[in-house]
A and B are shown apart, each in its own frame.
Chain A
């Protein structure tokens, strides 16, 4: 296909004639693509530029002649590559092709029900459109149409109307070739051919929503959008996904101030035309019942009371003025908002005590982020060119699904080796044919290789040092892939103690002068600043203690993401919370300021590559304000203006600052911690978050939750034998903090290891075990 040839040194070009027009295209181009380049549209259903050709629907028939010899019958232009001397006549110039296309359309419509009025695809349906442009104006069919029971739920998110299907096999090809989840297939033959599911394997793919989007008829529809609207009701806005750091381009469709659906946008350099189900369907959190509408202030009675903005800002300012305060931004804010927090901390609060990491973290990581991650330039195209990709503390299918799709695309063609440090072969690893190995055992990397480091690697002291050593030794590229969409942007904006915006080290005099000049202040705080856990500790200290903190400004943070006792550390301090919905933080906050959700504001996310993914406000009528606007008002109230009245102004300021060109922080290497040794019933627990779990932003979407993978604990065959359990039996995982009970799944893994999902139903590790890893005791339940 066309994309394949782009890397070849010398691309052979071929000239053909289509409808009397000459065109020169690379060898291997399909006739239908060459015609597209001329602006000639040949009708099609099964053809999709990112899927292998199938020739299933036969709608794209054209007359072809090569060097004077014509094919006896019209040929499918979506399966035939161009050849020298080819003369193609489409429906525009060949009556034979036109008649053939009309005949195919008539055949396709024989069994297609005339239920367009109740079909969700009505109004944006390729079959409707092409039946109008390339079909007969009247039906000659008088028989009885084939009918099936409908709709069949092929998962809780996707419904199938088999009688509408034109058997183009786009969905089955997608699930096999792109997602690697061949859970749907074409069953039966002839007129009874239909899309079916494997009885024992439900269609709980993380990418099933794409099949709804590429279905050229209304055969596959999404449960949550079913019967909700027509295309003319919707106002579409290009958007970016807020759920992970993959950086998907999206389209948000709004009807009367509510998001009705989100579709994958078209961006060849990032998500191609795909996205994951979380990005597609997890948008109900915006309209949940717990959503905050007005500012609130805690009264003398200890309860939160709704109040006006001026009053809330006044109370917040009074609580922060002259106090030793810190800032926790959370990992979900946009670049502009993170920049607002960063500037607010330095100017309004006069401190470097700011950290975006709402998760377990180390100082080693802070130094890694400043020295390596902030400047990393590895991109998706580097993954396309890579010969070997090493995944460290990173599970792409769960933590950055589009990275997974890119890797799978290459693995499927047998051109990429994947090595992972995961404790067991997860479904994603199995699809990627990943070798499991410890960092110390990995070899054979070249300068084309990529080492992808997940945020989880920071949980093991010394692991980042080991990863960097591997990179330095082999010359491979490094990529830091955080899980949350806002982390790379927060790093760029300096929402961390050791960096100012643009990667300028806080400890560097010249860098501080640079920023203070831009901000129009004489000095900036030069102290070392503290991390999230140090800030939380300082909040619990006696106020006489010189290291104590009195107040904290918190963005979207879940205390259970940080540690089990984070919430208790926040109990006796003044908290200003900027939040979307009622949360554990707002329950203890003194001032709660409601902020805009992604669809209600404009902003930018930096994806893991550092690529800017800007988006504009989708819900025009929303009155909710972006974090940066609120911080700007709060700073004005404090008498230390940060001058960021709008997102646009913030964008301009960030652009004018640019990146630091001076010396960077050097990475502080840490010693690698020796592995825990375990005995008897003890095991070493590792975990990560599954893509679909109990995440805050997935709330309110039951159909999506229905396809989450069940929470199971993975253990080795050896341990299973020792415990006397088989697949599905319950085991109890406990430590001194508490315990969880999960069904067991026996996997290929070390006898000393155990794995459990981090935040799934019955398996909320931080809440139940007080830790997300470490030594636990495993017994049969």
Chain B
């Protein structure tokens, strides 16, 4: 009896298991006593639950934060001056087990610079019809350009809308960021960017001198 894993721990044995296992049919007396106590116990749980804290959330009116490391929609990050971190290397696409990512690289020019260094991601698409949110792309990214947000509301009404373009995936422009393309921070190379030495934009980076 003690090895019966179905037996609730710390609860009183109600004799039901013993009765079920015995060959002797239940008498009316047995039924009467045990079913009454059982019913009482059932109503007691219902009664007590009324006073417990409610875990149900009125989604979508109410939203709860996800776990910190929840795998949600991807984001393409920027450096602190607004240049993109993505170098278009396609390692995310290579790592993807669902073939959900499509990247095309291109060369930065002095006139049109999207990222520090030579190369940037010209086309960046994630197909959320295919993505399994495994996060292997995040692990593959050599510049931490691709990370995952906690956003999970990705349902939509057509297949086309679920193929996210680079514009949909780029992170928001925070304080001090100027949208690419623009020149690199003066006197800083791509390695300085990678090391985090650029912490904001420089006036010379703003288009036609309207920098802050």
Q: Which of A's residues lie within 8 Å of B, judged by CB?
A: 117-118, 122-123, 150-151, 226-230, 232-233
Contact = CB atoms under 8 A, between A and B. Distances in A.
Contacts of A229: 90, 104-105
Contacts of B107: 226-227
Given A117-B87, A118-B87, A227-B105, 6 more contacts: A151-B118, A227-B119, A229-B90, A229-B105, A230-B90, A233-B93
3 tightest A-B contacts by CB?
Answer: A117-B89, A227-B105, A118-B119
A230 B94 CA distance: 9
A117 B190 CA distance: 14
B142 interface: yes
A118 B89 contact: yes
Given A227-B105, A227-B107, A117 B94 contact: no
Nearest to A117: B89
Nearest to B121: A227
Contacts of B163: none
Contacts of A230: 90, 93-94
B207 to A, nearest CB: 24
B118 A117 contact: no
Interface of B: 87-91, 93-94, 104-107, 117-119, 142-143
Contacts of A122: 89
B168 to A, nearest CB: 20
Contacts of A233: 90, 93
Contacts of B105: 118, 227-229
A122 B105 CA distance: 13
Contacts of B118: 118, 150-151, 227
B124 to A, nearest CB: 13
B105 to A, nearest CB: 4
A123 B106 contact: no
Contacts of A226: 107
A161 to B, nearest CB: 9
Contact of A228 (B93, B104, B117): B104
Among A118, A150, A228, A229, chain B packs the most CB atoms within 10 A around the CB of A118
Contacts of A123: 94
A229 B87 CA distance: 13
A256 to B, nearest CB: 9
A227 B88 contact: yes
B100 to A, nearest CB: 14
A118 B106 CA distance: 10
Given A117-B87, A118-B89, A118-B118, A227 B106 contact: yes
Contacts of B142: 117
Contacts of B91: 117
Contacts of A232: 93-94
Nearest to A161: B118
Contacts of A228: 104-106
Contacts of B90: 229-230, 233
A359 to B, nearest CB: 40
14 contacts: A117-B142, A118-B89, A118-B105, A118-B117, A118-B119, A226-B107, A227-B88, A227-B105, A227-B118, A228-B104, A228-B105, A230-B90, A232-B93, A233-B90
A150 B105 CA distance: 18
A127 B118 CA distance: 21
B163 to A, nearest CB: 14
Nearest to B189: A147
Q: Which of A151, A227, A230 has the most CB of B within 10 A?
A: A227
A618 B106 CA distance: 24
- Most B Cβ at <10 Å: residue of A123, A151, A228: A228
A610 to B, nearest CB: 42
Nearest to B143: A117
A227 B106 CA distance: 5
Nearest to B105: A227
Nearest to A226: B107
Contacts of B94: 123, 230, 232
Nearest to B120: A227
A233 B93 CA distance: 9
B144 to A, nearest CB: 12
Contacts of A117: 87, 89, 91, 142-143
A259 B146 CA distance: 29
B10 to A, nearest CB: 53
Contacts of B117: 118
A606 B210 CA distance: 63
Nearest to A118: B119
Contacts of B93: 230, 232-233
A233 B142 CA distance: 19
Nearest to A151: B118
A60 B105 CA distance: 35
B183 to A, nearest CB: 18
A229 B104 CA distance: 6
A24 B142 CA distance: 48
A94 to B, nearest CB: 35
A257 to B, nearest CB: 13
A118 B108 CA distance: 12
Nearest to B87: A118
B122 to A, nearest CB: 8
Nearest to A223: B107
Nearest to A123: B94
A227 B88 CA distance: 8
A159 to B, nearest CB: 10
B187 to A, nearest CB: 16
A228 B93 CA distance: 14
A42 to B, nearest CB: 28
Contacts of A151: 118
A232 B92 CA distance: 12
A372 B106 CA distance: 52
Nearest to B107: A227
A733 B142 CA distance: 60
A122 B90 CA distance: 10
A403 B89 CA distance: 39
Contacts of B88: 227
A232 B142 CA distance: 18
A229 B94 CA distance: 11
A267 B88 CA distance: 35
Contacts of B89: 117-118, 122
B113 to A, nearest CB: 14
Q: Most chain-B CB neighbours within 10 Å: which of A117, A122, A150, A229?
A: A117
A226 to B, nearest CB: 6
Nearest to A232: B94
Nearest to B89: A117
Nearest to B122: A227
A150 B118 CA distance: 9
A123 B94 CA distance: 10
Contacts of A150: 118
Contacts of B87: 117-118
A233 to B, nearest CB: 7
Nearest to A150: B118
Nearest to B115: A118
A164 to B, nearest CB: 12
Contacts of A227: 88, 105-107, 118-119
Nearest to B123: A256
B125 to A, nearest CB: 11
A753 B190 CA distance: 58
Contacts of B143: 117
Most B-side CB within 10 Å, residue of A123, A151, A230: A230
A268 to B, nearest CB: 34
A143 to B, nearest CB: 15
A195 to B, nearest CB: 19
A151 B88 CA distance: 18
